[in-house]
Structure 1
């Protein structure tokens, strides 16, 4: 759809999102970024581990859609043992807001969503970079990758949301996003 000025609706929404990101004064810069986007929030992901894909609208006109959030929870389960925990909608909002800022139609590749205590312990034994009390254990974090965007670009987009933790893992080619306190780490 094109406006009379020749700008596409997507370009207008992108400009609004960038403005909202800079102007929203509350915890949830992510919510500010998503405001004005037709009052619809959408998340697109795929998993190389399970072969599954997810493309769902999870929020419309001020309301989360419980069935869609359940789809997100199922999709972001611990793929090693199929254990699940409800995924915090704030994390999904941060992921969606960062994705909107990146202006790509490519879905995220989900590397890690919810982690069971068993999986987290196993990963901690293999790597010093896995937190004992990881927000993955609470369904409040995701490790994501995009082929069409660099780790630096993803890190900047997620950081611009000022709505949670953002970790840059350049050597492993992914970005961590969570709905915990606002903080940044990595290189």
Structure 2
């Protein structure tokens, strides 16, 4: 698969590095400790209510208490890492991204834009904000597994029209999928079994976990904690 990479000038600390650059060293939790919790029993895939939609031009919801990710970056949880990185591989487009997206406890807008692009809807090229909480979840999964390989993105943001077409085709897609809101990703990590990846995501308890062994990925999202098998 060919690799499409984008470079940035090296004159800033906010580095967006494409290709095979290695992530900086970090304190890692052994997989045996990460899998210590009891897994959530699987159940039917829920159809969650649609809070808001994100398309090519996201429209803020009417409720003033809710704001889209694009309108204001959230404050990372207290006590978390001050520096966060991700290594991503979009298996459909061949693009790879190695990026530090948080420095000194602050999300970096230019790095988030690069992540939004690589996690876009591959069928329409629609780009929308990916929830930083999802990025933190993906970063922690990769860190706890001590993964050296990039995290493979099978699907991330999904435009409403794309989601509707997949649903009509009988792809087992939820009508109001968290993919539409940039809050979900279907992932795999080379060298790690899907069952281990699923167990880790379940023990973290930070959202939904769908297990799709026949399709070769695990779904993770930052909605309510729940579990199902596809």
Where do 1:13-162 residues align within 5 Å? 13-14=28-29, 18=33, 35-36=80-81, 39-162=82-205
Partner Cα distance (2:170, 2:77) in 1: 33
User: Cα distance, 1:31 vs. partner?
Assistant: 5.8
User: Cα distance, 1:85 vs. partner?
Assistant: 1.2
Partner Cα distance (2:120, 2:109) in 1: 16
Deviant stretches of 4+, over 3 Å:
none
User: Cα distance, 1:150 vs. partner?
Assistant: 0.9
Q: TM-score, normalised by structure 1?
A: 0.80
Partner Cα distance (2:122, 2:227) in 1: 27
Q: TM-score, normalised by structure 2?
A: 0.66
The two structures, once aligned, show a CA RMSD in angstroms of 2.4
- 1:86-145 alpha-carbon deviations (Å, 9 max, x no partner): 000001111111111111111111111100112111211223520000000011100011
Contact 2:28-2:144 within 8 A present in 1 as well: no
Partner Cα distance (1:81, 1:128) in 2: 18
1:180 to 210, 218, 223: 223
Q: Which runs of 5+ in 1 are unaligned?
A: 1-8, 23-29
SS at match of 2:179: helix
Partner Cα distance (1:67, 1:160) in 2: 32
Contact 2:28-2:146 within 8 A present in 1 as well: no
Contact 2:29-2:145 within 8 A present in 1 as well: no
Higher relative contact order at CA 8 Å, sep ≥6: structure 1 or structure 2? 2
Partner Cα distance (1:135, 1:76) in 2: 14
